[in-house]
Amino acid sequence: AQKITQTQPGMFVQEKEAVTLDCTYDTSDPSYGLFWYKQPSSGEMIFLIYQGSYDQQNATEGRYSLNFQKARKSANLVISASQLGDSAMYFCAMREDMDSNYQLIWGAGTKLIIKP
């Protein structure tokens, strides 16, 4: 079974609109971390935001916020006031703390295109 699911392979959004990128996860580990990365066409993987499973509040970082719904096992990324530069591939990833390898488990990604 997929541990990280990103159901939107691609999205088109009008500039200045808010965007929600979906991510659901599957784990039985009570302690885990969730990450969002952005990858423009240049290739660099850019860390955006992190949410720990025990964090009481949703993470925010500038225009990025993480809508963390633990009971639903979802960790959607919200980008406010989208810009043309937000066009990129977005990956959701999870780390399970009981996994002694501490490896990141990646979703398949969502390609976001912002229209002018």
Partner 1 sequence: DTEVTQTPKHLVMGMTNKKSLKCEQHMGHRAMYWYKQKAKKPPELMFVYSYEKLSINESVPSRFSPECPNSSLLNLHLHALQPEDSALYLCASSQDYSSGDEQYFGPGTRLTVT
Nearer to partner 1, 11 or 89 (CB): 89
Least distance to partner 1, CB of residue 50, Å: 5
Least distance to partner 1, CB of residue 34, Å: 11
Q: By the 8 A CB rule, do 30 and 53 touch? A: yes
Nearer to partner 1, 15 or 40 (CB): 40
User: Which of 11, 6, 32 lies closest to 106 in space, CA to CA?
Assistant: 6
The residues binding partner 1 (CB under 8 A) are 33, 35, 37, 42-47, 50, 89, 91, 93, 95, 97, 101-104, 106-109
Nearer to partner 1, 13 or 107 (CB): 107
Least distance to partner 1, CB of residue 100, Å: 9
Q: How far apart are CA 93 and CA 83, in angstroms?
A: 23
User: Which of 38, 55, 43 lies closest to 93 in space, CA to CA?
Assistant: 38
Our CA dihedral for 47, 20, 34, 73, rounded to 10 degrees, sits at -170
